[in-house]
Amino acid sequence: MQPTATMLDAKVPRYTSYPTAPHFHSGLGPENARQWISALSADKPVSLYLHIPFCDRLCWFCACHTKQTLRYEPVSAYLQVLHAEIAGVGRLLDGRVPVGAIHLGGGSPTMLRPNDLITLSQCLRNAFQVLPDADISIEIDPNDMDEQRLDALASFGMTRASLGIQDFDPRVQKAINRLQSFEQTAYVVDGARARSIDSVNLDLLYGLPHQTVESATSTLRRALQLAPDRMALFGYAHVPWMKKHQTQIKDEWLPDGPERYAQAQVVRTLALEAGYQAIGIDHFALPSDALTLASQQGRLRRNFQGYSADRCDTIIGLGPSAISQFDQGYLQNAPATGDYTRRIIGEGFATVRGVALTHDDRVRRWMIEKLMCDFRFSRAEAFNRFGTAADNMMSQAMQIAETETGSLCEWRSDHFEVTDTGRPFVRLIAARFDAYFTAPAGRHSAVV
């Protein structure tokens, strides 16, 4: 089946949470954070996400909460506040809850000076019971890297290096303000592996300005020369109404829906031909990678960091704009660094919004995550988890499968399943189970 223009032009959430972030509200604050953290069980490890909201240059494609600074003083000042937040959360947990995973994102975490990276690692280990086998991933901008930073990352305990590439084509790089050579990237990959950091992830994008099937193919072929353990091949999210710096990218530079789809299909085919396993909608991993094993065993997760083999149900977000995930719901810190700083100094917590889950939310969250990870969910598992509360949702799933005319999904035995044809459009199907979704075109990114 060839996708229709309506399908390719659709705008839907990425479903890294449910309800999605646009539905967070200001009715939740620091007291919720204290209560939900204090209620965590000592026998269940948690994950930590640390946000570093600075870059020494601003990439036009980026949709993250970050700001450019050419001075290090604001970074140093911010780190002191982050240390205070870490210590405050640590006091609430009182060492009783183990930490099974740590992720540093941004911004550019590797903008931190080597001594500051090491100090941050010590701060985390002073505040939390970090497990010896904790998975520690750090997002890396190869332009920031040198031998001292590579040494600091190894001292930090990094187990996976996650490198942003986007595209190696000079014309595309100029259009997104991200100049980065293949040699710079290879230097970081080689340096990480020389320090026994064996897991390497590469982030690439399709749908970028001036990008073509040929340039996307060339970029992926060069990336494969680095033999990454896993790759994320995302579609560029052009949301200039949310991120003003994206207005530097002119609409006429962007590939249209059919071209984006063609790019997505060709990089997928190349990754599969190279021996990688498809994980969810946009990740690929070697057969031996933890992400592949998690997918095969039905325990793949999806959160604000994308697809994960992380077994932790709880994520505690630290830093401005960071989102925490609890059984009770989601909480988000103040996005602006100044506001975050004032709140941490004044109240100890910077929570400004979030959402508490209803029972209906929990059922839908599980179903949507199963679709995004496994492309299917079973009626038996739904009833095992939620009892009769799953009745209405299973009826809705059967009705969707019965009325689907585009061969995107079907009901098989006791399973709702996305077909091979429908997998590139699974976000469209997930949106049918989203009780909050009203399809405002100005709030979401292209479906492929």
Domain ranges of the chain: 11-356, 359-446
Per-residue pLDDT of 283-339, as tens digits, reads 999 999 999 999 999 999 999 989 999 989 999 999 999 999 999 999 999 999 999
Cα–Cα distance between 167 and 222 in angstroms, integer? 10
Picking from 383, 378, 426, 389, the residue whose alpha carbon sits closest to that of residue 404 is 426
User: Hey, what's the torsion of the CAs at 372, 378, 380, 385, to 10 degrees?
Assistant: 10
Cα–Cα distance between 264 and 371 in angstroms, integer? 19
Buried b (16+ CB within 10 A) or exposed e, 65-94: bbeebeeeeebeebbebbbebbebbbebbe
* 440 pLDDT above the threshold of 70: no
Question: Exposed, middle or buried, 154 (CB in 10 Å: 0-12/13-18/19+)?
Answer: middle
Cα–Cα distance between 429 and 410 in angstroms, integer? 11
Residue 167 pLDDT? 96
Beta strands 409-412; 415-418: pairing state: antiparallel
Residue 229 pLDDT? 98
* CATH code at 359-446: 1.10.10.920
Per-residue pLDDT of 129-174, as tens digits, reads 999 999 999 999 999 999 999 999 999 999 999 999 999 999 999 9
Which of 2-11, 397-406, 417-426 bottoms out in mean pLDDT, i.e. has the lowest?
2-11
- Encoding tokens for residue 183? 């040699």
Q: pTM of the prediction? A: 0.94
Per-residue pLDDT of 354-411, as tens digits, reads 999 999 999 999 999 999 999 999 999 999 999 998 999 999 999 999 987 678 999 9
Whether 67 contacts 104, CB under 8 Å: no
3-class state of residue 29 by DSSP: coil
Q: What is the pLDDT averaged over residues 233-245?
A: 88
* 192 pLDDT above the threshold of 90: yes
* 441 pLDDT above the threshold of 60: no
Per-residue pLDDT of 48-94, as tens digits, reads 999 999 998 889 888 888 889 989 999 999 999 999 999 999 999 99
Residue 151 pLDDT? 98
Cα–Cα distance between 160 and 123 in angstroms, integer? 20
Q: How far is CA 143 from the centre of its chain?
A: 22
Residue type, 116: D
Residue 439 pLDDT? 62
Q: What is the pLDDT averaged over residues 234-258?
A: 90
Could you tell me the fold of the domain covering 11-356? pyruvate-formate lyase- activating enzyme (3.80.30)
Q: What is the pLDDT averaged over residues 192-212?
A: 96
**DSSP letter string over 212-237?**
-HHHHHHHHHHHHTT--SEEEEEEP-
Give 444's pLDDT tier (boundaries 50, 70, 90). confident
- How long a stretch of residues is the chain? 448
Per-residue pLDDT of 11-52, as tens digits, reads 899 999 999 999 999 999 999 999 999 999 998 999 999 999
Residue 356 falls in which region: left (phi positive, over 0), alpha (psi -120 to 50) or beta: beta
* 109 pLDDT above the threshold of 80: yes
Q: How far is CA 190 from the centre of its chain?
A: 25
Give 9's pLDDT tier (boundaries 50, 70, 90). confident
